[in-house]
Structure 1
Amino acid sequence: MGSSGHLLVAGADPALPARARSRLAELEALWSRFRADSELCRLNAAQGRWVTLSPPTMALVQRAVRAWEVTGGLFDPTVLPALEAAGYTRSFEVPPSEPPPESPSGARPRRAPGCAGIEIGDDRVWLPPGVRLDLGGIGKGYAADLVAEELLAAGAAGACVNLGGDVRAAGAAPGADAWVIAVEDEAHPGSDLAWLALARGAVATSTRLRRRWRRGGQELHHLIDPVSGAPADTSLATVTVVAAETHWAEVLAKAALIAGPSAGAALLEAHGVAGLLVTEDGTALRAGPWERFERWIPNCGGTSPVPAG
């Protein structure tokens, strides 16, 4: 899914971690927009026609459309053409020596069409002409949710799944009463902004400091403002959210970053989640019950921190 991951499984059949890795590879094959044979690419290529999808993809599309609705369009999975216009046309897994992404010839930013015209049946989806989906803003989180829940259902006592900084903690933490998750300082790699303690739940970080590139002397990033169709012009550098589910934390972190400091904090408060919003100059704004989860003591019951960001 274009990022590294960590998987911790407690009190389970030794074969479960390998099964979980296989499951993640399966989900990547379904949802990648960089694989021509993925279900997502097949759906995007069939605009104006119904497409039957697997249960995981159906569930993900439903959640993406719902996220668009409840965030007032701040989270918008229909920004794919705008992403491509900005130059994000290939996976960031390409070697660093490769040249930076370039915009398709003549491409210009344009407002995202939104999800209003998308039709969803029991096992199929219809996209209006001109609408294509990017599920990258919710897919890693939903994959972490699915795998953590499936590990518990398969007999694991506890599981912690971290996909590119989107973390789901479920069940019992080994040797402790909480999972300890380190939130990396994106402006200073190798340093942490905070350590969080969760008995269960999720943490996700959205940042414009990672997937970025320069074109024509201008720095661009992958977080698109659905209204302008251009990379979001915001003073926020990162937003970290604590919620019950990873895909929801991921959605709200992105929506809050696009909204900006005040509106972003208000959005998190309105949805009853905890958040840490960090501006370009390093100012940190806490939203919701953030202090309830924050821990700064390195040794917390013997559990090693899992980097989240």
Structure 2
Amino acid sequence: MVQPAPPSTRFGTAGLVAHELHFRAMGTDAQIVVVGAEADLAIWASDRVAALEAAWTRFAPSELGALAERPDVDVPVSDEVFRLVEASCTAWRATDGAFDPTVLAAVAALGYDRTFDEVVDRDSPAAPDDPTEVPGLGGVVLDPAQRTVRLPTGVAIDPGGIGKGLAADLVTDEVVARGAAGVLVNLGGDCRVAGASPDESGWTFGVEDPFAPDDDLAVLSVSDGGVATSSTRRRRWRRGGEEVHHLIDPATGRPTASGVRSATVVAGAAWWAEAEAKMLVVSGVAGLGRLREASAIVVGDDGSVHATDDLADAVRDA
């Protein structure tokens, strides 16, 4: 693992010292800001992100990946793996399967069977004519008392749709428990904040315009909670001469074509925001009516912008 540069330090207008660290993790750019604590806590937080990645990754041998190798067996797991599987099952049921982390085989069939940096460097052969079946999580058995997980034969869990958000949540809670006055954990745009920000403006997030990535479509203020964006603009590659993306519609086993270009969700937890954002991209604008304990801004393929009532004022006029 490449060690990140030492945290940068700044003094906020609220009189609190903030330490900021930038590094690579989970296949994306990561950022941690720790407020009102020692710089070592930011380094510790980045190490925790790395440990979670090692436990969950599908691109190297991992504890989560090993579950699929022991189907129909109650396997004892770490707390981190149990929480990831538990959150995945909760989100799958709450979204009626629109969020589905068992799309792993379908994603791999499209050529995303290695790190994304390796995928974009090649033009993979055409995908199979028959769509890949997405089995769902209905047969997964969790035992919280024994902390075991049983996966049915043929089921493997891809952490990519919820792992960054859950990692941000876990690390944020742990950093606050270790005495920080405030913290931001940003893993590729899936963010969790808690407590004091470095200055009096609070924690703010720009919502990228998918048609003009250098511009913000909206600016959101979040005091304690998660923000996540799902977009078909990101993670695109060539497959048999055709451009495809990684967001799979579980009903078809193919890249979703719902008419949504991007969805940004604000919720109490980043993992929930991430799952609901995936649901919106799969379900389309109609999915706004299915949101649970979350707010959202959705951009259509035609450039139209839709928002829940509480975020409508945050959207900037075109």
Q: TM-score, normalised by structure 2?
A: 0.86
1:100, CA displacement in angstroms?
3.9
Unaligned runs of 5+ in 2: 1-25
Q: Give the Cα separation in 1 of the matches to 2:119 and 2:37.
A: 36
Tell whether the 8 Å contact from 2:230 to 2:278 is kept in structure 1 after alignment: yes
With over 3 angstroms needed to count, the CA separation of the structure-2 counterparts of 1:173 and 1:266, relative to structure 1, is same
Bigger CA drift: 174-183 or 230-239? 174-183
Report matched runs for 1:230-269 at 5 Å.
230-261=254-285, 263-268=286-291
**Which of 120, 127, 132 matches 1:110?**
132
- Given the alignment of the two structures, is residue 32 of structure 1 paired with residue 57 of structure 2, yes or no? yes
Bigger CA drift: 67-76 or 78-87? 78-87
The residue number in structure 2 matching 1:277 is 298
Q: Give the Cα separation in 2 of the matches to 1:9 and 1:139.
A: 21
Q: Give the Cα separation in 2 of the matches to 1:295 and 1:228.
A: 33
Q: Give the Cα separation in 1 of the matches to 2:71 and 2:123.
A: 30
Q: Give the Cα separation in 2 of the matches to 1:4 and 1:103.
A: 30
Q: Give the Cα separation in 2 of the matches to 1:108 and 1:59.
A: 34
With over 3 angstroms needed to count, the CA separation of the structure-2 counterparts of 1:225 and 1:158, relative to structure 1, is same
Higher share of residues assigned strand: 2
- Given the alignment of the two structures, is residue 15 of structure 1 paired with residue 36 of structure 2, yes or no? no
Tell whether the 8 Å contact from 1:5 to 1:162 is kept in structure 2 after alignment: yes
**Which of 125, 141, 145 matches 1:119?**
141
Identity %: 43
Tell whether the 8 Å contact from 2:122 to 2:238 is kept in structure 1 after alignment: no
Show CA shifts across 1:127-153 (max 9, x none): 111111111100000000011111110
Q: Give the Cα separation in 2 of the matches to 1:176 and 1:46.
A: 51
**Other structure's SS at 2:161 match:** coil
With over 3 angstroms needed to count, the CA separation of the structure-2 counterparts of 1:92 and 1:102, relative to structure 1, is farther
With over 3 angstroms needed to count, the CA separation of the structure-2 counterparts of 1:107 and 1:136, relative to structure 1, is farther
CA RMSD between the two structures: 1.8
One-letter code of the match for 1:47? P
1:124, CA displacement in angstroms?
1.4
1:95, CA displacement in angstroms?
8.3
Aligned pair count?
289
1:44, CA displacement in angstroms?
1.8
- Given the alignment of the two structures, is residue 149 of structure 1 paired with residue 173 of structure 2, yes or no? yes
- Given the alignment of the two structures, is residue 224 of structure 1 paired with residue 245 of structure 2, yes or no? no
With over 3 angstroms needed to count, the CA separation of the structure-2 counterparts of 1:295 and 1:284, relative to structure 1, is closer
1:69, CA displacement in angstroms?
0.6
Unaligned runs of 5+ in 1: 297-309
Q: Give the Cα separation in 1 of the matches to 2:119 and 2:108.
A: 19
1:49, CA displacement in angstroms?
2.4
The residue number in structure 1 matching 2:211 is 187
1:39, CA displacement in angstroms?
0.8
Report matched runs for 1:290-301 at 5 Å.
290-291=311-312, 294=314
Tell whether the 8 Å contact from 1:170 to 1:201 is kept in structure 2 after alignment: yes
**Other structure's SS at 2:248 match:** coil
Tell whether the 8 Å contact from 1:90 to 1:101 is kept in structure 2 after alignment: no
